């Protein structure tokens, strides 16, 4: 089967595709607000430790499973062990939950892009602009429709390759822009340096179990782990490419972009609010609140705002395309329906799930699930519940069912797996125990049994 599968071309094909899927709103929008909320330096430190241990291990395991079986997640688990067929369904749920609310945020990005294009930079920089915008009922839903509609159009027309090419060219420009914007903030604005210090100095008094829960969820989300994506990518990977090297490259690139984005957003919070704890707790709106303020003080800020939001738009839409693509192909394989029809069904479901996420900030603002706004709840359910659960089952599956040896052999096709002992130890013992603890505390916390 593996022989019939189309594969990534060239050495860099896998890394580019995996990095393309990895870098998105998770890095630019989600990482900075979580880092701000969960204690800055301590969040960063925990994130790094988790990336080097769990991130690396899971990335290698998933890629190797995909390459070995030549199948995507649903088929891969089933073909290795029938008892684990159920995993295919859980894995499929994650992108289906993420896509709608991801597109709501995509809509916010489009709104800001449009705002800069139409010359409303100073309006958007005003205090309270963002909250009153998402507090309006109709407009954010309109932008959400537009964003997910465009996503569906690309998937329907099958032109994602073209979009991906554009995005690959834009990605380096986006990284340069992020560096320029953070450099500008840090070097010219009073108080910004305190933000840098907040981000890089671990303050253990800010530590809580929720810091670890949030960092782990972010790691999975940002690197597109624990949702079957890397298994699918692995199935396209050629046998002569090193799995470990690729995993390291994707991980370093993804974390690098996330760190730079935090360096752009967090110092700005300090510059504009003096490090007010309430401003740091802003949550999902953080990037949209601080960036227009920076652009408003920057020479040429209008233009930079336009260029910046175009790039973010491309980073976001390539991710949403690949999310929708994943859900559509699962539907297609499972129900054997026409692909276009599947695409329309997925679009319909996403619209239904996305509208409440958007209304959660306006008309349905008082409706809370476990004390969370609707968008936050979807985010929590996928990143802090389902993904850790999938990671847990995956590590038990690799550690005790198919055995680490199978993964190690797949990795060693291209040469010695230098850290194989470390790999086996993490996947067999550390990951299961640790993730169970994390899951339990995350659930207890959500139900308000304990506050940690």
Q: How far is the CB of 95 from ligand TRP (least distance, A)?
A: 5
Contact 211, 46 (CB under 8 A): yes
Question: Closer to ligand TRP at the Cβ: 223 or 271?
Answer: 223
Closest approach of ligand TRP to the CB of residue 276, in Å: 28
Nearer Cβ to ligand TRP (34/398): 34
Contacts with ligand TRP in 303-362 (CB under 6 A)?
319, 322-323
| Of residues 151 and 395, the one with the C-beta less far from ligand TRP | 151
DSSP 41-99: HHHHHHHHHHIIIIIHHHHHHHHHHHHHHTS-HHHHHHHH-GGGTHHHHHHHHHHHHHH
Alpha carbon distance 80, 82 (integer Å): 7
Count of residues in the chain: 452
The answer to whether 231 contacts ligand TRP (rule: CB under 6 A) is no
Q: Does 45 bind ligand TRP (CB under 6 A)?
A: no
Give the largest CA-CA distance in the chain: 61
Instruction: For the CB of residue 47, give the shortest distance to ligand TRP in the complex, in Å.
Output: 13
Given a contact cutoff of 8 angstroms between Cβ atoms, the answer to whether 95 and 388 are in contact is no
Tell me the two tokens of residue 330. 């699962």
Q: Assess 97 for contact with ligand TRP (CB under 6 A).
A: no
Dihedral (CA of 109, 115, 121, 125) sign: negative
Residue whose C-alpha is closest to residue 305's, from 163, 150, 164, 111: 111
State the angle between helix axes of 301-335 and 286-297 in degrees (0 to 180), rounded to the nearest 10: 150
- With contacts defined by CB under 6 A, how many residues of the chain interact with ligand TRP? 16
Q: Give whichever of 304 and 387 is closer to ligand TRP, judged by the CB atom.
A: 387
Residue 27 as a binder of ligand TRP (CB under 6 A): the answer is yes
In whole angstroms, how close is the CB of 325 to ligand TRP at the nearest point?
A: 8
Site pattern 271..310 for ligand TRP (x: CB under 6 A): ----------------------------------------
Which residues 57-96 are close enough to bind ligand TRP by CB under 6 A? Answer: 95
Contacts to ligand TRP by CB under 6 A:
21-22, 24-27, 95, 98, 221-222, 224, 227, 229, 319, 322-323
């Amino acid at each position: 089967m593996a022989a019939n599968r189309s594969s990534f071309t060239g050495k860099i094909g896998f890394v580019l595709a995996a990095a393309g899927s990895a870098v998105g709103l998770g890095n630019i929008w989600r990482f900075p607000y979580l880092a701000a909320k969960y204690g800055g330096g301590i969040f960063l430190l925990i994130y790094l430790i988790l990336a080097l241990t769990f991130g690396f291990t899971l990335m290698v395991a998933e890629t190797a499973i995909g390459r070995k079986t030549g199948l995507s997640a649903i088929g891969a688990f089933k073909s290795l062990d029938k008892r684990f067929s159920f995993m295919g369904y859980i894995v499929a749920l994650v992108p289906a939950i993420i896509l709608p609310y991801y597109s709501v945020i995509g809509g916010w990005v489009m709104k800001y892009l449009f705002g800069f294009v139409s010359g409303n930079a100073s309006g958007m920089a005003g205090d309270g602009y963002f909250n009153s915008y998402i507090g309006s009922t109709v407009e954010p839903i309109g932008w959400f429709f537009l964003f997910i509609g465009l996503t569906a159009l690309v998937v329907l027309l099958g032109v994602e390759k073209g979009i991906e090419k554009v995005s690959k060219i834009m990605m380096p420009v986006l990284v340069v822009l992020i560096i320029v914007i953070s450099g500008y903030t840090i070097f010219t604005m009073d108080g910004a340096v305190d933000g840098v210090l907040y981000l890089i100095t671990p303050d253990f008094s800010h530590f809580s179990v929720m810091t670890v829960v949030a960092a782990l969820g972010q790691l999975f989300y940002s690197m597109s782990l624990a949702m079957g994506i890397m298994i699918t990518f692995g199935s396209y990977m050629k046998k002569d490419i090193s799995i470990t090297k690729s995993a390291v490259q994707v991980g370093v690139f993804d974390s690098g972009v996330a760190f730079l984005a935090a360096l752009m957003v967090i110092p700005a919070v300090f510059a504009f609010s003096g490090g007010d704890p309430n401003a740091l707790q802003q949550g999902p709106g953080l990037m949209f609140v601080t960036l227009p303020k920076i652009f408003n003080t920057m020479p040429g800020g209008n233009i930079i705002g336009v260029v910046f939001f175009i790039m973010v738009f491309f980073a976001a839409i390539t991710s949403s395309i690949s999310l929708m693509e994943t859900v559509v192909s699962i539907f297609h394989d499972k129900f054997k329906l026409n692909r276009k029809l599947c695409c329309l069904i997925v679009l319909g479901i996403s619209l239904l799930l996305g509208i409440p996420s958007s209304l959660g900030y306006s008309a349905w603002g008082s409706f809370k699930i476990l004390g969370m706004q609707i968008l936050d709840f979807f985010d929590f359910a996928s990143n802090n519940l389902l993904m850790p659960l999938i990671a847990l089952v995956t590590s038990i599956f690799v550690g005790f069912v198919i055995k680490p040896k199978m993964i190690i052999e797949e990795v060693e096709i291209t040469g010695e797996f230098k850290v194989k002992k470390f790999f086996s130890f993490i996947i067999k013992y550390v990951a299961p125990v640790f993730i169970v603890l994390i899951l339990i505390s995350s659930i207890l916390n959500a139900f308000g049994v304990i506050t940690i």
